[in-house]
Amino acid sequence: MVYDDCIFDSITYSSTRKKKKYNWHKTKMGVGMNEKKPLLVHLDGKLYDIADFAQKHPGGAKVLHKLAGEEIGEFMRGERRIMGVKHEHSEAAYGMLERYSVDKFQKLDPLIDGKQGMLFKVGSLRSEYWHWIHQPYDGTLRLFDSDFLESLTRTSWWVVPSVWVPVVLLFSLFSISTFSQTTDLYNSVLLWSFWFVVGILTWTLTEYSLHRWVFHWKPSPESENQILLHFLLHGLHHKTPMDGDRLVFPPVPAIPIVLFFYIIYSNTFTWPVFCAFGAGKLFGYVGYDMIHYYLHHGAPRPLSNMHYRKVYHHNHHFKNFDVGFGISTSLWDYIFHTVGMGPL
């Protein structure tokens, strides 16, 4: 692979009394970064964005797109075939590849290297925001100047099941005990099981819908408030996918959401059905958060189903963020034709 000399000249940050704005200057490129997707590859643990070079690659852009999100060391060294071809690359190719190091860009990025809270500055990225969040940073970002507020943005994975699993058990008991007032215990458990599973399936559709149509909603580049909202919803996760303390949803802001659905479902279903259905949906959410955390930080056995799901989700982050929205299941990806890629 030979990489062209289209690189970022500089990254400047200018401030005025009314507005702060980031200007990302590029040579030879007349389009904004929001007009193309990153093309990310890994080499020896480092991340590179080679989108600017794809159309000039001597082996064709299709080869590079096929390797998006992958470790390319064996292909660069000519040890593995790609599309039927093996090719050992020169030292010059490795040197040119360094020009596209994401780490190099990020070292100059004041939003990343700054010691102050960056949350209310992210809107100033404007048209560069969409590309910026899809160049992942292997670290954490400081959102607030206040240490106290910053601590509230972090949640350990075990907090979620500790808070919500007892609620699932409690409402399951409510359901079975209420059902048992009109039928025997065996049928009460069957009724609870049916509505519990319906609740889980409903969560999987909710999960897919939120991920695809809410979390991946593209904010207007002209609206700093829309950018801020998207960054809080999902942009932060795509920018820092390995930040383990910001992977699960904190219980405190989750409480009003749970209460909102409590009001809706309790007025839709009878009490025992509501308790079983609600417990199932809440259990589905807990399972989703735990699976999502494991996909980022776990080490599943190769060729196992969970290994496939880990690669599938990895490819959503690093290969194509427009497909592969299912976390706990790919069912809805198949139904809505957004199936992503598993292992090569």
Architecture of domain 8-115: Roll (3.10)
**pLDDT by position in tens, the chain (length 344):** 433 333 333 333 333 333 344 444 333 333 344 457 888 988 988 898 888 877 767 567 788 888 888 898 888 888 888 877 777 887 767 877 887 888 877 878 889 876 889 999 999 999 999 999 998 888 899 999 999 999 999 999 999 999 999 999 999 999 999 999 999 999 999 999 999 999 999 999 999 999 999 999 999 999 999 999 999 999 999 999 989 999 999 999 999 999 999 999 999 999 999 999 999 999 999 999 999 999 999 989 888 999 999 989 989 998 899 999 999 999 999 999 999 988 86
CB 136 within 8 A of CB 30: no
Neighbours of 255 (CB within 10 A): 11
Alpha helices per DSSP H over 77-158: 91-97, 102-107, 110-113, 129-133, 147-152
Phi then psi for 225, rounded to 5 degrees? -70, -40
- What span, in angstroms and rounded, lies between the C-alpha atoms of 69 and 40? 5
- The total of other beta-carbon atoms located within 10 Å of residue 157's CB is 18
- Predicted local distance difference test score (pLDDT) of residue 74: 87
d(CA 193, CA 4): 60
225 three-state secondary structure: helix
The whole-number pLDDT of residue 336 equals 98
Distance between CA atoms of residues 281 and 265, nearest Å: 11
- Residue by residue, DSSP assigns 236-261 as HHHHSTT-GGGSSPPHHHHHHHHHHH
d(CA 67, CA 42): 9
Binding residues: 57, 89, 211, 216, 234, 237-238, 292, 296, 313, 316-317
Residue 10 token pair: 């500089």
Q: Which residue from 43, 267, 235 is spatially nearest to 123, judged by alpha carbons?
A: 235
Whole-angstrom Cα distance, residue 226 to residue 264?
28
Instruction: Reduce the DSSP state of residue 180 to 3 states and report it.
Output: coil
- Calpha distance 107→114 (Å, rounded): 10
Distance in Å from the first CA to the final CA of the chain: 20
Q: How far is CA 273 from the centre of its chain?
A: 33
Q: How much is the pTM?
A: 0.78
Feature table: binding site for heme: 57, 89
Q: Which residue ranges are tagged as binding site for Zn(2+)?
A: 211, 216, 234, 237-238, 292, 296, 313, 316-317
Contact 69, 312 (CB under 8 A): no
Q: Domain extents for the chain?
A: 8-115, 154-335
